[in-house]
Amino acid sequence: MPNPTIAAIATAQAPGGIGVIRISGHAAFDIAQRLFVPKKPLDYSQLRSHTMAYGTLHDFPSPQNQPFFDAYEAPPQVVDDIICLFFPAPHSYTGEHVVEFQCHGGMVVMQRALQAVFAAGAQPAGPGEFTRRAYENGRLNLTQAEAVMQLIAATSEQAARAAQAAMGGALSQAIDQTRAALIALQAHISAWVDYPEEDIPALQSEEISNILQTAQQDLHALIARAPRDNLMLQGINTALVGRPNVGKSSLLNLLAGYDRAIVTPTPGTTRDTVTETVQLGNLTLRLSDTAGIRHTEDAIEAAGVQRSRTALAQADLILAVFDASQPLTAEDHELLSQCDSTRTIVIFNKCDLCDISASGGFTSAPTVPLSALHGIGIPALTQAIEQLLNTSSFNPNEAMLANERQRVCAQQALSAIEEALTAHQSGYPLDAISICIEDAITQLFALTGERATDVVVDEVFARFCVGK
Amino acid sequence: MNNTYDIIIIGAGHAGIEAGLAAARLGCRTAIFTQSLDAVGNMPCNPSIGGSSKGHIVREIDALGGEMGKVADETTIQFRMLNLGKGPAVHSPRAQVDRRAYADTMKLRLEQQENLHLIQGEVTSITHCALRITHWQVTLLTGTTYTAQCVILATGTFLRARVHIGQHNHQSGPDGLPAAMQLSDSLEQLNVPLQRFKTGTPPRVNRRSIDFTQTTEQPGDENPTPFSFEEPISTRNLACRGGNLPPEAIKLSQTPCHLTFTTEQTKQVILANLHQSPMYSGIIDGIGARYCPSIEDKIVRFADKERHNLFIEPCGLTTNEMYLQGLSSSLPKDVQHQILQTIPGLEHAEVMRPAYAIEYDCVNPLALRPTLEFREHLGLFGAGQFNGSSGYEEAAAQGLMAGINAAHKILDREEFTLGRHEAYIGILIDDLVNKGTNEPYRMMTSRAEYRLLLRHDTADRRLTPHGHKLGLISNERFAQYEAKQAQIEQEKQRLASVRIIWQGKSATLFELLRRPELDYAALANHDPERPALPAEVITNVETDIKYEGYLKRQQAQVQEMLRLEHVPLPSDLDYQAITALRIEARQKLTAARPETLGAAARISGVNPADVEILLLYLKKK
């Protein structure tokens, strides 16, 4: 039994200039024929790849293909003027017949069009089902499929570029290379153990170490830069901390470009954690404006303070804001002591009101003078963040581990390789070593999805939004 | 005269022997037909049993109650453990045997077996029984007919066999025995898919014409490890010689082999005469082995190699015939002489039997099920070289499995198969029936994914419980086996409880044994309470401890493999209709009809993505 034909709105569930309905499956062309009346005649039996036609989309059934049309009381209504795109199998996204209706993107129109498609025989597509079919039909490997999801979720240009590189196979190629070296090593070990009479040269101990070490280094580099890559792909979780009324909310508003937080001269105005995603050069900051950390008797404010502390612990980046116009207080010092200096940038706000140089030597973290009110100091802040998180070395075209599943596989492969190295260095025979190498190879296959279990596959595809 | 049997076996080579013994021992009325009663258990090629990975198979056969290991132990004239310089997984026992003594002993074993009838006669046809469609009728050259519910084809290299020596070729089986020219026709009428394979053997030369001073002596092991788990090698060996030899004599009975090598001149002679090799001039249609290549193959394929090792091996104690391992060839006789003249020690060697190549009909094993029964012919089984394999050990293993399964069919018992994680025998049969082969299939350790679990010294642990359950291992021997396993466990526990000071630190002997640089023998002085244990118990204990971590890792790999192994594939699955599968995968799966998803995954041309697709497809159904 072939897969059922599926359909979904492929564009965002919001009003837009155009909206696309995607239909995939063996009956996709039949469904199109029932609903779509082209302006110029169209021969469905001879559709070339990537054919485009203009015409009208009707409620089911369409007048041309329904012989009992006259028997209907009211003729099927025109839903929309559309452009219809045809992708015959296997040269389509899913590898099946695919039809896309480009409609006017109104919510009502789109829903009506989709209902017509369902009435004509399609079933609603599950989450990620189109991409899953592309994977099942060999159009994409697992990391490429994940990259599609990554691209959809990308919030910055850099993240989008990285997703593009992953779809192109940047990660699979890097993994393939490591895996090929390990497979070659396995093959040599096998040949050597198999031919006792043929005096096949034993692999030199150094050679084995070299191959394993190269694999170790490659994987290690990939894993080591994963946290940084992740910052670029997912955005940087940033905690904005500081004593009340030092100007955190003003800074948030400046970065966001509009009045996101309520700013008053009264300390303790911000009680809940206010979050906002902002762009700073190539960086995406997921900013949390926290309640000012101070000792308070107010229960609600105290809860806010507790949240701030949590945000502090979990943040990739801490922007600690101090008021440069006033002497530092004991509370300021206590706050600073709670910030991990490797993740912290100290901001002296209101720098226009005083001479900042007096504050030197206050902390080992990088320091940026800034005026949130007057918009001074943002380029310096950007630079400081890039330096601190080493993001300027980020290369979107490089292989990178884009999610937890990939990281776990890479980590397990790395441990197996390290175990092989240890076994080799402590004098275990090749039998023992090859068991570890085999495990590493299996993990690398799992990483690219070529030997992924169905459980993994289910998990990957469950994370797709409907329509992709 | 009663011409009706439960099981008829065609052929009394290594496959036919094990099949016949297993079937008869399981209580079936069994007959083995052979062209010549003087060629039962013949070794037309190397006078040796075992070797890399093959030695494992022999021990597995023994653990399942087969005969090969015992008879090899009884008739061995040199015993060596191969690959001792490598890891424990690839240590492999190998025995030179006296080929006459081996064949005679084996023949007697068959003659003494209750329920088993050894009959001389060439089978010329096999057809469905006219009256009982579930039975087979076997007809001899003389016209006599026999019927049986199951027939096991173990025809070796005899079907339409042709021998090639240079440009000369003639119809003949191995060792000058007549070819079986008619049975293939009958099989073709049954639509049994036949293919044509080729194999070869080196020349035999007279011992007195060899100058041993130019060769290197290869002595046997001082402490031989027998194949059989049943009883010590010494008693058997001595009994076989018929004398009351003192223990030192065992050492003496380790007849040496000798090592020599090809030279630059050998290469020149071969290259100058390649056109006379039927392999290169295209006379032989059959496909030859990559793994046991002729000397001309080796010279051409490994052109950069200066020399190739040659082993001079005695064919027995009562003959001067010497086997030249590594010099398999199909070049003309005079060229063979020229080649010998270029080899140190063999310059004046007198050829008694020339090297030759033989081509023969065998079945495409994809037509077989994992029980070695034909998928399309109930009650018809294949075993040994007929199934496309190479080697006595591979043949014997298949014979044993086919014999057991044919008997089980008759007795209405469960099918008996072994997994790839259980035995080399499992790998052998899984490869043959699922992947097929286009050259004689030889076992190799690298074919085993779980080598460390499949060590030769664990064959009894892996398989003797199976053998006992089948009824091929006696209660007495099973009790011996259980006692040995208990000894192993007790010794492990004891080692874990004895604490000593080693290099200034306290550690148990168990912990110390884990260190790669220490072994059981090295710790003897620190372990005064140590009980006297058989060598093999010590090997087991030591390897289990030393490799514990790796064994666990391997066990985990097995569990992962079994995940797919436990997903059955319906026998009527229409792969052509699963369009998501790549075309190559559809074709390969249709040809092999694997019985589980695990077997499907191992077929070359079926990649992991195809397996996932199959899994998803099965889930949806």
Last residue of a domain, which of B470, B500, B519? B470
Could B563 and A196 be called an inter-chain contact, meaning their C-beta atoms sit closer than 8 Å? no
The domain boundary, picked from B553, B575, B606, lies at B553
What percent of chain A is helix, strand and coil (3-state, nearest 5)? 45, 20, 35
- Residue B317: what residue type? L
Residue B55 lies in a domain: yes
For residue A79, the model assigns a pLDDT of: 84
Q: Is A342 exposed, middle or buried (0-12, 13-18, 19+ CB in 10 A)?
A: exposed
Asked whether residue A287 carries a pLDDT value surpassing 60, the answer given is: yes
Least confidently predicted of A307-321, B65-79, B94-108, B166-180: A307-321
With bands split at pLDDT 50, 70 and 90, how would you rate the model's confidence at B394? Answer: very high
Per-residue pLDDT reduced to its tens digit, B41-73: 999 999 999 998 999 999 999 999 999 999 999
For the ranges A231-235, A287-291, B149-153, the one whose mean pLDDT is highest: B149-153
Report chain B residues touching chain A, CB-CB < 8 A: 51-53, 82-83, 86-90, 92, 308-309, 311, 325-326, 444-446, 449, 451-452, 515-517, 547, 550, 553-554, 557, 560, 563, 579-580, 582, 607-609, 612-613, 615-616, 619-621
Write the pLDDT tens digit of every residue in A210-220: 999 999 999 99
Q: B452 and A432 in contact by Cβ < 8 A?
A: yes
From the list B86, B612, B615, the residue facing A429 with the nearest CB is B86
The token pair at A195 is 């031919």
Task: Place B241 in a pLDDT band, splitting at 50, 70 and 90.
Answer: very low
User: In a mutagenesis test of the B interface, which of A3, A190, A194 is the best target, namely the one with the most B β-carbons within 10 Å?
Assistant: A194
Digit-coded pLDDT (tens) for B156-166: 999 999 999 99
| Same domain, yes or no: B127 and B170 | yes
Question: Which among A138, A430, A451 has the least Cβ separation from residue B86?
Answer: A430
| 3-class secondary structure per residue, B11-69 | CCCHHHHHHHHHHHHCCCCEEEEECCHHHCCCCCCCCEEECCCHHHHHHHHHHCCCCHH
Contact check, Cβ <8 Å, B90/A193: yes
Closest listed residue to residue B200, CA positions, set B39, B49, B359:
B359
Under the banding of pLDDT at 50, 70 and 90, the label for residue A140 is: confident
The closest CB to that of A450, out of B451, B580, B608, belongs to: B608
Interval A179-195: pLDDT, tens? 888 888 887 777 777 66
Note whether B333 and B188 are same-domain residues. no
User: Using a CB-CB distance cutoff of 8 angstroms, which residues of chain B are in contact with residue A175?
Assistant: none
Question: Given this model, what pLDDT does residue B286 score?
Answer: 56
What's residue A271's pLDDT? 52
B140 part of a folded domain: yes
What one-letter code names the amino acid at A376?
Answer: I
What integer is the mean pLDDT of A397-412?
A: 84
Say what the pLDDT of residue B396 is: 98
Residue B328 forms part of a structural domain: yes
SS3 state of residue B419: coil
- Smallest Cα distance from A83 to chain B, Å: 29
Q: How far away is chain B from the Cα of A120, in angstroms, using its nearest Cα?
A: 23
**Chain A residue with Cα closest to B546:** A428
User: CB–CB of A442 and B557 under 8 A?
Assistant: yes
Shortest alpha-carbon distance between residue A43 and chain B (Å): 25
pLDDT on residue A327:
81
What is the secondary structure of A153-191 as a DSSP string?
Answer: H--SHHHHHHHHHHHTTHHHHHHHHHHHHHHHHHHHHHH
Phi–psi pair at B228, nearest 5 degrees: -75, 140
What pLDDT, on a 0 to 100 scale, did the predictor assign at position A259? 61
Least confident of A356-365, B350-359, B555-564: A356-365
- Is the pLDDT at A169 greater than 60? The verdict is yes
B512, B561, B579, best to mutate vs chain A, most A CBs in 10 Å:
B579
Highest-scoring range by mean pLDDT, A233-237, B492-496, B586-590:
B492-496
Residue B239 belongs to some domain of the structure: no
pLDDT band at A450; cut points 50, 70, 90: low
SS3 content of chain B, % helix, strand, coil (to 5): 45, 20, 40
pLDDT at B404: 98
- Taking the C-alpha atoms of A382, A383, A389 and A395 in order, what is their torsion angle to the nearest 10 degrees? 100
Do the Cβ atoms of A431 and B87 come within 8 Å?
yes
pTM for the whole thing?
0.78
Judged against a pLDDT cut of 50, whether residue B234 lies above it is answered with: no
Note the pLDDT of residue A463.
52
Looking at the structure of chain B, the number of domains it has is 4
Regarding whether B76 and B31 lie in a shared domain, the answer is: yes
- Does the structure show a pLDDT above 50 at A69? no
Residues B283 and B368 in one domain: no
Among A426, A452, A454, beta carbon nearest to B516: A426
Min Cα separation A429/chain B (Å): 5
Q: In chain A, which residue's Cα lies nearest the Cα of B580? A: A137
Identify the domain containing residue B82 by its residue range: 4-157+165-202+360-470
Q: Which residue of B has its CA nearest to A427?
A: B516
* A384-398, B168-182, B191-205, B358-372: least confident range: A384-398
Indicate the residue among B504, B531, B553 that finishes a domain: B553
Render pLDDT for B482-507 as a digit per residue (tens, 0 to 9). Answer: 999 999 999 999 999 999 998 899 99
Q: How many CB atoms lie within 10 A of CB B144?
A: 12
- Cβ–Cβ of A196/B452 closer than 8 Å? no
Which residue in chain A is spatially nearest to B260 when comparing CA positions?
A197
Domain-located, residue B241: no
Distance CA A222, CA A398 (A): 9
How many whole angstroms separate alpha carbon B5 and alpha carbon B149? Answer: 7
Residue A394 has pLDDT above 50, yes or no: yes
Comparing B234 with B462, which gets the higher pLDDT?
B462
CB contact under 8 A, B445 and A194: yes
Pick from A431, A445, A450 the residue to mutate for testing the B interface (most B CBs within 10 Å).
A431
Contact B444 A439 (CB under 8 A): no
Where residue B607 sits, what CATH number does that domain have?
1.10.150.570
**What chain B residue is nearest to A141 in terms of C-alpha separation?**
B609
How much is the average pLDDT of B574-588? 83
Higher-confidence residue of B539 and A282: namely B539
Grouping H, G, I as helix, E, B as strand and the rest as coil, residue A78 is: strand
Lowest mean pLDDT among A424-433, A450-459, B128-137, B515-524: A450-459
Q: Are residues B586 and B523 in the same domain?
A: no
Q: What are phi and psi of A57, to 5 degrees?
A: -105, 130
User: Using CB atoms, which residue from A197, A434, A451 is nearest to B608?
Assistant: A451
Q: In a mutagenesis test of the A interface, which of B262, B550, B576 is the best target, namely the one with the most A β-carbons within 10 Å?
A: B550
Residue B413 lies in a domain: yes
Distance from CA of A190 to the nearest CA of B (A): 5
Q: What is the token pair recorded at B475? A: 């209660």
Say yes or no for a CB contact (<8 Å) between A427 and B516.
yes
B319 shares a domain with B435: no
- Assess whether B61 and B194 both reside in one domain: yes
Contact B517 A427 (CB under 8 A): yes
Res B232: pLDDT: 56
Domain annotation covers residue B349: yes
- More confident site: A156 or A362: A156
Which among B52, B553, B580 is the nearest to A196, CB-wise?
A: B52
Q: Do A137 and B580 touch (CB under 8 A)?
A: yes
Please say if the pLDDT value at position B267 is more than 90: yes
The reported pLDDT for the residue numbered A468 is: 45
Maximum average pLDDT range among B424-428, B526-530, B574-578: B424-428
Q: Are A441 and A101 in contact (CB under 8 A)?
A: no
Which has more confidence, A161 or A443?
Answer: A443
Q: What is the CATH number of the domain that holds B186?
A: 3.50.50.60
> Which residue ranges form the domains of chain A, and what is each CATH number?
6-125 (3.30.1360.120), 157-225+399-462 (1.20.120.430), 234-392 (3.40.50.300)
Q: Which of B92, B446, B615 sits opposite A454 (nearest CB)?
A: B615
Same domain, B61 and B153: yes
Residue by residue, DSSP assigns A354-416 as S-GGGGTTS-SS-EEE-BTTTTBSHHHHHHHHHHHHTGGG--TTS----SHHHHHHHHHHHHH
- For A420, which residue in chain B has the nearest alpha carbon? B550
Are the C-beta atoms of B154 and B399 separated by less than 8 Å? yes
Please give the pLDDT value at position B158.
98
pLDDT of residue B238: 42
In the predicted model, is pLDDT for residue B425 greater than 50?
yes
> Percentage of chain B surpassing pLDDT 70?
93
Q: What is the CATH number of the domain that holds B538?
A: 1.10.10.1800
Greater pLDDT, A261 or A226: A226
Weakest-pLDDT range from A315-319, B497-501, B613-617 = B613-617
A191 interaction partners in chain B (CB closer than 8 Å): 446
Mean pLDDT across B336-346? 97
Q: What is the pLDDT of residue A1?
A: 52
Q: What is the mean pLDDT of chain B?
A: 90
Q: CB–CB of A251/A371 below 8 Å? A: no
Average confidence (pLDDT) over B272-297: 71
Higher-confidence residue of A50 and B367: namely: B367
Output the pLDDT for position B431.
92
Interface residue ranges in chain A relative to chain B, Cβ cutoff 8 Å: 1-2, 95, 136-138, 141, 190-199, 423, 426-432, 434-436, 438-439, 442, 445, 450-454, 457
- First-to-final CA distance of chain A: 23
CB-closest option in A2, A190, A427 to B446:
A190
Split at pLDDT 50, 70, 90, the class of B193 is: very high
Same domain, B178 and B33: yes
Per-residue confidence band for A196, with pLDDT thresholds at 50, 70 and 90: low
Q: Among A136, A190, A193, whose Cβ lies nearest the Cβ of B83?
A: A193
> Does residue B65 share a domain with residue B192?
yes
**Nearest CA distance, B466 vs chain A (angstrom):** 27
Mean pLDDT of chain A: 79
Q: Which residues of B touch A192 (CB under 8 A)?
A: 86
Q: Do A2 and B579 touch (CB under 8 A)?
A: yes
Helix locations, B222-367, DSSP H? 233-241, 248-252, 264-273, 278-281, 295-301, 333-341
The strand pair at B145-153 and B380-382 is best described as parallel
- Residue B558 inside a domain? The answer is no
Nearest CB to A445: which of B547, B608, B613?
Answer: B608
Using one digit for the tens of pLDDT, what is the confidence trace for A80-94? 899 999 999 888 989
- Side-chain half-sphere exposure of A11, counting CA atoms within 13 A: 19
Chain B residues in contact with A194 by the CB 8 A cut-off are 52-53, 444-446
CB contact under 8 A, B607 and A450: yes
B190 and B47 in a common domain: yes
Residues of B in contact with A426 (CB under 8 A): 515-517
Task: Tell me how many residue pairs between chain A and chain B have CB atoms under 8 A apart.
Answer: 99
A382 — pLDDT class (breaks 50, 70, 90):
confident
Residues B121, B144 contacting (CB under 8 angstroms)? yes
Q: Please tell me which residue, A76 or A240, carries the higher pLDDT value.
A: A240
Q: Are residues B463 and B527 in the same domain?
A: no
Residue with tokens 């076994």: A423
